[in-house]
């Protein structure tokens, strides 16, 4: 699974569970798997890349 495949899953996770927005990529590995967003544990680097895009994608998610 690539970072671009993870991007929609992370955006969906953030919109449904905003409490995960500030979690680190290594914390999101298990969350994404446990909640059924991915079939297998994704690489931390791929999650980090998708998180960076997802966090900068929508203005309401940008850090103040």
Q: Give the tens place of pLDDT for each residue, 29-59.
A: 999 999 999 988 889 999 999 999 888 876 6
Residue whose pair of structure tokens reads 């998708």 in the numeric block: 50
DSSP 59: G
For the whole model, what pTM was predicted?
0.80
How many whole angstroms separate alpha carbon 40 and alpha carbon 63? 30
Give 14's contacts (C-beta < 8 A, 6+ positions apart): 20, 21, 54, 61
User: Beta strands of the chain (E only): which ranges?
Assistant: none
């Amino acid at each position: 699974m690539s970072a671009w495949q993870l991007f929609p899953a992370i955006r969906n996770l953030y919109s449904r569970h905003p409490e995960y927005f500030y979690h680190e990529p290594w914390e999101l590995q298990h969350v994404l798997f446990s909640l059924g967003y991915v079939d297998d544990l994704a690489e931390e680097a791929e999650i980090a890349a998708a998180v960076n895009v997802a966090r900068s994608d929508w203005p309401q998610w940008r850090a103040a």
